[in-house]
Structure 1
Amino acid sequence: MMTDLFSTFDPATSIHISSNWLSTFLGFIVLPLSFWIMPNRINMLLTKMTMKLHEEFKLLIGSSSKGSTLLMISLFMFILTNNAMGLLPYIFTSSSHLTFTMTLALPMWLSIMLYGWINHTNHMLAHLVPTGTPPVLMPFMVMIETISNLIRPGSLAVRLTANMIAGHLLMSLLGNNSVEASTTILPFIIFTQMILMMFEMAVAIIQAYVFSVLSTLYASEV
């Protein structure tokens, strides 16, 4: 029985083990294609999506970092799988928790920063002062750029979490109201939920794309 609206995001289970987090790794069971009939529509769709993302990420990150696009494509597919599975009934939405999103964002940002400051120190120092900044404003620009760099993992994590929570809360509100709704209002609630489901599927794709693109842009600065 739900105690409040946010209890739908509670990862605890009745056996005192957070087994709901196991749904995070269900995608790895479905995605391997070694036993599938090849080629098929799903394989062709994944291949086209992967090649398209590879071309776009390679354009953003540059040709100097070979293999980095594979990391960003894997990140995109991992977040997309978890976002999409969260729309299915009785499956825990792991991407609606900061534990999941911060685990992805913080090591990514920290590794990029460490690599940049260790190997390209002068380049990273030059990024703190934009070109054409007046000498009077240089100390303030260093402070602003430093703060903006420090809040990057938090903004990545909170953006994904907030977008996933917002849509699920709307669907939970409509679902709770549909139990006591009259027969005249019920078709409108069902129609609204269908629209929200399509909207949430678009949000799941867009947020996975935004997370991976921003991570690629942060890596391209190094």
Structure 2
Amino acid sequence: MRTKVTTIGFDADDTLWQNEQFFRLTQERFAELLSDFVDPDHLAARLVAAERRNLGRYGFGIKGFTLSMIEAAIEVSDAKVPASVIAELIDAGQEMLAHPIELLPHVEDVITELSRDHAILLITKGDLLDQERKLAQSGLGEMFEAVEIVSDKVPGVYTRAFAPFGGTSTAMMVGNSVKSDVIPALEAGAWGIHVPHDLTWEYELADEPAAHARFRQIEDLGQLPKLIRELV
């Protein structure tokens, strides 16, 4: 028996598998490598500024992050950063791209359960090759009826993704980012379910739309099936 929700879209990074923790670890390494040129707090601010500035050029993902680290390193050092440090930053980015996938709790069981009565979609943003790699390594690929890897998440993305499955009125988007996964999905007419992660990139921070009738928040994905049953 189907509920009010017939289609469920899942975000990938930090919703299905770990992601931000690897960026944080690399940022710590970045700070150590540039410690002779700038204090960590100032360096972090310069890196964030570079990332924001470069989103329109490189998009989201590890490759853009690595290029932003190199750019910030050149800026804070007045172009005096050694080539050896640049090489280490490139190595750090390559290590991130090769890191094994770590699924978050409940992911496989919940998707398996919900796929019995719902169309399950993956809607994620970032670098195409990297997201395809992570999906392949996750072992979840066969569980999704459709996969959307987009440059950014705006209401039109959700409208288009859910259209072949009955539209947004019976669709739900589940993710850790209020800014990318929840708000634009709500604006498109779908349900927006926030699953907070311990680590969230500054760019993805936004106020929760608590007053919206289709907004919900759960502690982890294990609570999702019960939430959906309650929407009957």
Shorter chain as denominator, the TM-score bin is under 0.3
Higher relative CO (CA 8 A, sep ≥ 6), structure 1 or 2?
Answer: 1
Q: How does the TM-score come out when normalised to structure 2?
A: 0.25
Q: How does the TM-score come out when normalised to structure 1?
A: 0.25
By percentage of residues, which structure has more helix?
1
State which structure, 1 or 2, has the greater radius of gyration over its C-alpha atoms.
Answer: 1
